[in-house]
A and B are shown apart, each in its own frame.
Chain A
Amino acid sequence: MKLCGGCERHIMATELRCPFCQTAFETTQPRRPAGTFQILMWGLTFALGTTACGTVAPTEEEPMAGSGSSGTPTVLTTTASSSGSGPLTSGPTPGDESSTGTDATAEDTNALDDSNDQGCSFYAGCPPDDWGGLDFECDVFAQDCPEGEKCMPWANDGGDYWNATRCSPIADEPAQVEEPCSVEGSGFSGIDDCDVGLMCFGVDPKTNQGHCEDMCTGNEASPMCGEGESCSISGDGSLVLCLDTCNPLAGDCAEGEGCYPDEQSALFVCMPSSAPEAVHGTECEYINGCGPGQACFDALLVGPCEGALRCCAEVCSVANDEEEGVCAAAAGTKSCVKFYEDGLEPPGLEDVGYCIEGVG
C-alpha cells in the first residue's frame, strides 16, 4: 500500500488516483524501461514511484474492495531478494507490499507480515521504549525529534545495512550540505556532525569521513528534493537521500561515484560506487555494486556471467549502436539495448542503453 499525500489515507499501490480524496498520482510506469529489461532491472530496487498531487474535492463513496481505481497494476517480478547488507542497497518501500513481490490481491495473508512489525495483541503488550522493538523511532521526512536532535537512519543491529531510524544529537557547529563530515563509529551509526536534515554519506570506512548530503523532505508518498536531485529511498525506508540526477553517458558524477538507476524517480542518480574496479560481467548484489559506467542487471541478461544472480553491464549509447566497438568490452554481447521505451525517455536520456543480450 501507499499513503495518499492528499488525505493521509492508505491506498493500494496501484492507484493512480486516491479513491478517498481524488488526489492524482503521476505514475512512473511510462518512464520505466522496457519489457523484460524493466522487470529484471527493477527487481533490485523499489516499486513505489514518485507522486505528484493535485487535490480535488473529496469523495464519500466507498471504493471497491481491493481495487485499483485505474491503470495497470505495477509489475514487479523480483529475481532475488533485495534485502541484506551492503554499502547501499534497497529494500521494500514502506507501505508497499507489492515491492516485496506480493500481489496486492493475493490471498496470502502471511505475505503481508514483516519481521520488524510490532504487533500488540490484547494480552501481549507493546514494548517499553527502553526495550527494543522500535525500529522507526522518528520520521526522517518530518524530522520530528526533540529540539537539539535530528532523525537519522542507522543500523540497529550493528550491521552495515540501514534498517531503522533514531534521534541523535546535532553537533555544536554542524557541517552543511556538501561539506566534509565525520561519523561516530561507522557510517551506519546514525550519529554524525552534519546539520539537521543532512546526513554524512559516502563515508570512507577507514577514515569515517564523508560529505553531508541532503535528506528528502515532504513525506513518503510525496518526497521532495531540490532542483536537479531525486529522492532515493532505501534501507527499508529509513534512508531518504536527495541524490544528484545524472546521465550515465555523460559521466557527470563526482569522482568515486557512479550514475545508477533509481526506481523512485525512474531516473539516474549519483551514488558512491561500492565496486569501482568492477568490469562488465562482474557479479554484483546492489544497484551501486558496479563501476561508474555500469549498472547491475539480472545475470541472464549479461553475457559471460555464469553462476551469478546479477552482473554488471556496461553503459552504451544506442545512437552509436551500429558503430564498431560500442560494446566491444562486453564479450558476447550482441548490441546496445535501449534502457527506456521509445517515446517515454526522460529528456536527455534518450540514448541511454546497456550492453546486454537483446531481449525484451
Chain B
Amino acid sequence: MRLSEARARLPVLGQLPPARTRHLGEEWSADAPTPRLAVWEITLACDQACIHCGSRAGDARSGELDTDEALDLIAQMKEIGVGEVVLVGGEAYLRNDFILLVRAIREAGMSCTMTTGGRTLTRKRIDAMVEAGISAVNLSIDGMQAAHDHLRGVEGSWDAAFRALAHLREAGVGVSVNTQINRLTRNDLVPLLHRIADAGVRSWQLQITAPFGNAGDHPEILLQPYMFPELFEELERVADAADLRGVRLWPANNLGYFGPLEARLRRHQKRGAHYKGCGAGRYALGIEANGAIKGCPSLGGAANIGGTIRDHSLRQIWHNAQQLQYTRHRTTRELWGRCGDCYYADICRAGCTATAEPLLGRPGNNPFCHHRAHTLAAKGLRERIEQVERGPGLPFDHGLYRVITEWIDPQRRASEGPVHVEEPRTTRLVDPMGPGRAVC
C-alpha cells in the first residue's frame, strides 16, 4: 500500500478520542498488573545497519503480522488496558500500513509514539503521521556525526536524523532524543547536548549500549563497568550544561543506579528521585513483528517470549505465560554476585534485566552500576567484563561475558592478577528462578 492510499483510507474524524498514556489509570494487582506501555516492533525491516542493533534489524522478520492481525492486536491492547503503544522496528515507518496502525491505535484511545532513527523519515511521511494522530516521536541520535554514522553503519545517517528532527518540529510533533552511551559516544555527550538544544530539543534520554544483538558481538564499543565513576563525572557536567540549555535529562532504565548523581538525574522522572526496578512484564510488554509477546521489549528467545497472538489472546499470554511472571514474582533470592549483597538490593533488583541477562546469561547481577563501581573504587578495586561466547546471530540474542574484579592500580593488577572472577550463569530456561549456577 502506498502512503497516499493509506491516507485516503483513513476515516475522516474531526477529533480523535482522548488518548490514555503509560501512566496508570486504574488499580492493578501484583498477580495481573495492567500493562500500561506496549513496545511494538511492527517490522524488522530497517534502512540502517547499526552495529549495536539489539534486534539485528535489516530485513523484515519472517511471518510478520498482516494488517488484519495487527488491527486485531490493537483492539486486544486496548482491551487489556494499554495506555501507550510505542512503535519501533527495524523502522516502523517502513511497514506499508504504518499510518493505518497509528490511526487505529489513536482511534482506540491509546497514545501512539514512535522510536526511530529517522533516516528516511521524510516530511511527507511525517505529515501523514500527524494526520493519523501520532502523539510524539523519540529520535535516536548516538553521539556526534562520526560516532553516530559509524554505529549506524550508514554515512549521512546523522545528518538525516537532524533533518527528520527539523521536519518533525516543523510539523508540530513533540520530539525527544535518545542517545546510547558507549565507548564511541561517551565523550560526545556535551557537544551533542548543545547540538540537539540548538535544534530545539528539550527532552533527552540517555542509556548505555547493552550487550544484546549486534552490540553483544562488539565488546570493543561496550562500556566497561570500571568506566562508570568517570562516566558519571561526565554526566554531572552534562547535567550542568543541560540545566543551562533548558534540556531535561531522562536516564533510561539501564543507566544507574543509586550513586551520588541518582537524585539529580531522576528527580523529574521518579517520585522519590530514584530507580525502582525493572518494569518489564509488570507495566511494560514487548511485541515482536510476528506477534510474539514478551515482558521486556529488549529481550527475546524462549526464556522471554510467552507465546504468540496467533495461538493465544494477548490477555491469556499477559496473565498466564510463565515467561512474563519473572519480574512479578522475583525477590532478592534471584540476586547473585555483588547485587545480592547490595544495600539497594531490595529496590534495585540488579537494575535493567535487558542489560544484566544478555551479559551474564541470567538476570540478578549487573556490574553496569555507578553505586557498585563507586563502592569498589573506594576499596581500590574495579570490574571488567570479558567476552566468553558470541551470540548465535538471532534478533535479541546474546553471547556471554564474565566479570573480573581486579585492582585499579596497574602494577598491583599486573602482579596479583584478578581478585575475583564471576562466571556467567545458567539461563532462566534451565533454572527459572533463584540465582542460577555458574556455567563455566
Contacts and interface: CB of A to CB of B under 8 A. Distances in A.
B39 A94 contact: no
A131 B136 contact: yes
A121 B279 contact: yes
Interface in A137-159: 137, 139, 144, 146
Interface of A: 1, 3, 7-10, 19, 60, 62-67, 92, 94-97, 104-137, 139, 144, 146, 236-237
A62 B30 CA distance: 31
A119 B345 contact: no
Main secondary structure of the interface of B (DSSP, over half): loop
B203 A122 contact: no
A117 B276 contact: yes
Given A7-B260, A108-B30, A121-B252, A116 B23 contact: yes
Which among B25, B263, B264 has the highest number of chain A CB atoms within 10 Å?
B263
Which among B248, B268, B297, B298 has the highest number of chain A CB atoms within 10 Å?
B268
Smallest CB-CB A-B distances: 7 pairs: A125-B138, A115-B24, A128-B174, A95-B272, A126-B250, A60-B378, A107-B331
A146 B360 CA distance: 45
A117 B273 contact: no
Contacts of A236: 271
A95 B272 CA distance: 3
A60 B381 CA distance: 12
A9 B261 CA distance: 8
A10 B268 contact: no
Contacts of B277: 109, 112
A113 B341 contact: no
Contact of A131 (B174, B259, B276): B174
Contact of A10 (B274, B331, B341): B274
Which among A7, A95, A133, A139 has the highest number of chain B CB atoms within 10 Å?
A133
A130 B169 CA distance: 11
> Which of under 10, 10 to 19, 20 to 34, or 35 or more describes the interface residues of B?
35 or more
B135 to A, nearest CB: 7
A126 B205 contact: yes
Nearest to B328: A110
Contacts of B267: 136, 139
B270 interface: yes
A113 B276 contact: yes
Given A62-B341, A109-B349, A146-B246, A119 B271 contact: no
Contacts of A119: 22, 37, 253, 279, 283-284
Interface in B1-35: 21-25, 30, 33
B297 A124 contact: yes
14 contacts: A1-B347, A8-B263, A9-B258, A62-B343, A62-B375, A65-B332, A95-B273, A104-B347, A117-B270, A119-B253, A120-B178, A124-B22, A124-B113, A131-B136
A60 B379 CA distance: 8
Given A10-B274, A96-B272, A119-B253, A129 B343 contact: no
Interface in B84-107: 84, 86, 88
Given A118-B250, A129-B248, 20 more contacts: A9-B258, A60-B378, A60-B379, A65-B332, A66-B343, A95-B274, A97-B272, A112-B276, A114-B270, A115-B23, A116-B271, A120-B178, A121-B39, A121-B284, A121-B297, A121-B298, A122-B298, A123-B88, A123-B115, A124-B297
